[in-house]
Amino acid sequence: MGPYYGSVAVPKAKGSVLVDIVKSLRKAGPPAREAVPEPLRHYLDDRIMPFQWYPEKDVQELMGVLASFLPGSGEMVLRRMGEFSSSVHLTQMYPSFLKEGDPRKTFRRVCGTLWSTQHDTGSLDVIGDGEGWIEAALTGYGQPAKLMCSSIGGYLMGTVRAAGGESPRVTEPECVNEGGRRCLFRVEWRTGR
């Protein structure tokens, strides 16, 4: 984790998490540029490198600005953003992770590997599964925020949908932002059987 400012490490995310947020803010034009806090506006002009690390806090602030410009409200907008990211990752960047017809296997691949390739803090681990459901726990994440939980929930739903799970839905029965010791995500879907 790094860089360090004083003795505090700054949690980071890969540019692959940031790039679509920045592209969408650019497309939204001058009103979005004005809504981005001045210290972060350079992202709208900089080339975002998918494999470079960026401060997680910046990613979250830009995500919040973008969500305010998209139709809908709050959690549902952030969930849609997460689902979109999942679709891009599984079809364009990491297609080998997608196991069509097997949502649990795809979910396990995503949790087991993708989180740690995109974030330098935390671990997203599958802790249980069964026919038509799976649970994952996010622990040790250095920049917990409710908007990230909503986006992660959407990402996990999108993962299940991409692998063939019908009508996925996600709940978060435990969250560090609400006093929990971890963020627990449960995704359920119809199996079509």
Please tell me what DSSP assigns to residue 37. Answer: -
83 and 173 housed in the same domain = yes
How would you write 67-131 as a 3-class SS string?
HHHCCCCHHHHHHHHHHHHHHHHHHHHCHHHCCCCCHHHHHHHHHHHHHHHHECCCEEEEEEEEC
110-134 average pLDDT score: 93
9 and 87 housed in the same domain = no
pLDDT at position 71, please? Answer: 85
Distance, CA of 22 to CA of 61 (rounded, Å): 11
26 and 117 housed in the same domain = no
83 and 54 housed in the same domain = no
94 and 64 housed in the same domain = no
53 and 88 housed in the same domain = no
Q: 112 pLDDT band (50/70/90 cuts)?
A: confident
As a whole number of angstroms, the longest Cα–Cα distance in the chain is 56
pLDDT at position 193, please? Answer: 57
Q: 113 pLDDT band (50/70/90 cuts)?
A: confident
Q: Give residue-wise pLDDT tens across range 2-29.
A: 444 444 589 999 998 999 999 999 999 9
Q: By C-alpha distance, which of 109, 115, 107, 94 is closest to 187?
A: 107
In a domain, 156, yes or no: yes
CB 93 within 8 Å of CB 16:
yes
Domain count for the chain? 2
In a domain, 74, yes or no: no
Residue 11: both structure tokens together: 């949690």
pLDDT value at 69 more than 90: no
In a domain, 180, yes or no: yes
10 and 95 housed in the same domain = no
The total of other beta-carbon atoms located within 10 Å of residue 52's CB is 12
pTM listed for this prediction: 0.91
In a domain, 20, yes or no: yes
pLDDT value at 106 more than 90: yes
**Which of 24, 41, 69 lies at the terminal end of a domain, its last residue?**
69
Distance, CA of 49 to CA of 15 (rounded, Å): 5
The range of the structural domain enclosing residue 169 comes to 79-190
pLDDT at position 15, please? Answer: 94
132 and 62 housed in the same domain = no
58 and 95 housed in the same domain = no
Mean pLDDT (the chain, rounded): 92
Distance, CA of 192 to CA of 72 (rounded, Å): 30
Distance, CA of 54 to CA of 64 (rounded, Å): 16
